[in-house]
Every structure is written in structure tokens, then in C-alpha cells.
Amino acid sequence: MNANKNEVRLHIQSLSKCYGTKYALNNVSLRANAGEVIAVLGKNGAGKTSLINSILGMHNYQAESVEILGTTFHDRHRPTSIRQRIGVMMQLGTLNANLTVAEQLDLFCSYYQNGATAAELINEFELSPIANQRFGKLSGGQRQQVLFAISVAGNPSLLFLDEPTVGMDVEARHILWQQIQQRRAQGCAILLTTHYIEEAQRLADRVAILRAGQIIAEGTVSEIIADHESLEAAYLHLIQEPAHV
Ligand SMILES: Nc1ncnc2c1ncn2[C@@H]1O[C@H](COP(=O)(O)OP(=O)(O)OP(=O)(O)O)[C@@H](O)[C@H]1O
């Protein structure tokens, strides 16, 4: 995949999402270029999953503009031509627990015109030991590995990873980090949500911190750290709610 690092793959401006009368996202703006990992950090309920779901058009939202892979969207419909170029790894996959790993991969690979084959994914992600196991019988970490393989089945130009390493042991987490870095090196733009500060520090070109639906800080890891002693210290400081006078 050839990619120009100045190529904007995702650009949202002033995106808001309400559930009933409650704002889950309030005027969120974000950009991701080719070959860039953006980590979105925030407490439980800060709005991270709502952000991904809004970008994917999985529910209604309001926005000044949403540009995905060079196309500006005025409603939540995302045509097949765009969906073919997007990969998604959500927190809880709604995968059929009775299908084997190989069958799952086959199914997802069949959705993509220019994607990988199941055999290629099994080989790339070293899934042969579990290829014939039913998805429902896998450990949490193994499921995450399969969900990641599925998310890149279409060789996406834009990849959304919602807490991709939850439940993984240290070794599996490091392997997944390498795989994310490889995709970035190939030019994929990646939006990653995580509760693991170390993950953001290792992977992210830029970090955005969401607090109660608003981006309260955005920049490179060193910009966010600024005069704090670590990214964790900066994060803990930033997510404090302002004192009400
Ligand atoms: N379908 C829904 N209906 C009503 N409220 C919702 C719905 N989905 C999310 N919310 C609310 O919107 C807010 C943001 O939720 P969201 O799941 O986007 O947060 P998050 O940052 O992904 O959280 P976590 O880290 O726990 O996954 C929360 O207050 C949540 O309760």
C-alpha cells in the first residue's frame, strides 16, 4: 500500500451525538492521515465508542462535516465503495459463536473485493492452532486476535480499533502492537481507543483525550505530556473535572 503521509483519511469537524437529551459527544473534531495512529483516551462513558459508531454511520449524529477517505458525508449512509476500504475491530464482536475461526475468516474475506483470503490471514496471524475451533470456545485473548485479523481482512486504508488488546496476555499484546505498527508502516490510518496509557504511548502519533464527550487535549505524546512527568500523569491531571465554583 503506497501512502502519502499528508493524505487525510479521516477528518471530522464539530461532531455531536445525543442519546435522548444527553450529549455523548459534543463538538468533537479529529483528523487522521495515512500512516498515522490516533489514540483516543478517556474514562468509561467518555464517548469513545460513540465516536467510532458515529463515524461509521451506525447511528444518527450531527456534524459540521465528516470526511472519510476523501468523500464528505452529509448523512449516515456509507456506500459499499467506502466500507470496502474501512476495517473495524469493535469491543464485542457480534460473531456467530458456532462458526470455527476458519469459517469466520472465510465469511469476512468474502465481503471484500480486494481483501486477503482466510488462508493468508491464518498464516499472517499464526492462527492455525485455533483455526478449527469454534469462536465461542476461544479465550478472550484469542477472540481479540481473531477480531483483529477480521478487521484487516479487506486491507483497509482506515482502521478503527476499539480497545483492541483488552483481555490479552503480555505476549499477545506485544504481537498485536507489532501488527498495528506494520499496518501503519503500510500507510493505514488507524483510530484506536484504549484504557492502556502504555499502549497509547507506544503506538500513537497523536493522542486525543475525551472527557464527557469533549476533546480536552490533542497532540503528540510529548505535547500532551508537556511539563508532567509521564503521559499517565498528564492524562490523570487532564481528565479531572473542573472544580465548580
Ligand atoms: N445506546 C445508548 N443509549 C443511551 N446512552 C448511551 C448509549 N450508548 C452509549 N450511551 C451513553 O453515552 C455515553 C458514552 O458512551 P460510550 O460507550 O461512547 O463511552 P466509552 O468512552 O466508549 O466508554 P467505555 O470506555 O466504557 O467503553 C455514556 O454516558 C453512555 O452511557
Q: What's the pLDDT tens digit per position in 49-92?
A: 999 999 999 999 999 999 999 999 999 999 999 999 999 997 66
Cell of 216: 480536552
Cell of 31: 483528523
Q: How far is residue 69's CA from residue 10's CA, in Å, rounded to a whole number?
A: 6
Nearest CA to ligand 1 atom 4: 19
Q: What are the strands, taking DSSP E only, across the chain? A: 8-19, 22-33, 37-41, 62-68, 71-73, 86-89, 158-162, 189-193, 206-211, 214-219
Question: With a cut of 0.95, is the ipTM above it?
Answer: yes
Measured from the CB, is residue 47 less than 6 Å from ligand 1? Answer: yes
Q: How far is residue 88's CA from residue 85's CA, in Å, rounded to a whole number?
A: 10
Measured from the CB, is residue 92 less than 6 Å from ligand 1? Answer: no
Q: How far is residue 222's CA from residue 207's CA, in Å, rounded to a whole number?
A: 10
Pocket test for ligand 1, best of 16, 18, 48, 161 (most atoms within 8 A of CB): 48
Q: What is the pLDDT of residue 232?
A: 94
Q: b/e per residue, 77-114, with b = 16+ CB within 10 A?
A: ebeeebbbbbbbbbeebebeeeebbbbbbbebbeebee
Q: How far is residue 140's CA from residue 117's CA, in Å, rounded to a whole number?
A: 24
Q: What is the pLDDT of residue 4?
A: 78
**CATH T-level fold of 7-85+194-239:** Rossmann fold (3.40.50)
Task: Calculate how far, in angstroms, residue 192's C-alpha sits from the geometric centre of ligand 1.
Answer: 16
Q: What is the pLDDT of residue 5?
A: 79
pLDDT in tens, the chain (245 residues): 557 778 999 999 999 999 999 999 999 999 999 999 999 999 999 999 999 999 999 999 999 999 999 999 999 999 999 999 999 997 666 788 899 999 999 999 999 998 999 999 999 999 999 999 999 999 888 999 999 999 999 999 999 999 999 888 899 899 999 999 999 999 999 999 999 999 999 999 999 999 999 999 999 999 999 989 999 999 999 998 776 65
Task: Ligand 1, residue 43: give the atom nearest the CA.
Answer: 25
Measured from the CB, is residue 40 less than 6 Å from ligand 1? Answer: no
Task: Calculate how far, in angstroms, residue 162's C-alpha sits from the geometric centre of ligand 1.
Answer: 13
Task: Ligand 1, residue 25: give the atom nearest the CA.
Answer: 14
Q: What is the pLDDT of residue 22?
A: 94
CA distances 51 to 5, 47, 62, 197, 211, Å, are: 23, 6, 12, 19, 12
The amino acid at residue 51 is: L
The 8-class DSSP code of residue 134 comes to: B
Q: What is the pLDDT of residue 243?
A: 63
Q: What is the pLDDT of residue 240?
A: 87
Contacts 24+ apart (CB under 8 A), 15-24: 15/51, 15/54, 15/55, 15/61, 15/62, 15/63, 15/64, 15/66, 16/61, 16/62, 16/63, 16/213, 17/47, 17/50, 17/51, 17/54, 17/59, 17/60, 17/61, 17/62, 17/213, 23/213, 24/50, 24/213
Q: How far is residue 184's CA from residue 166's CA, in Å, rounded to a whole number?
A: 20
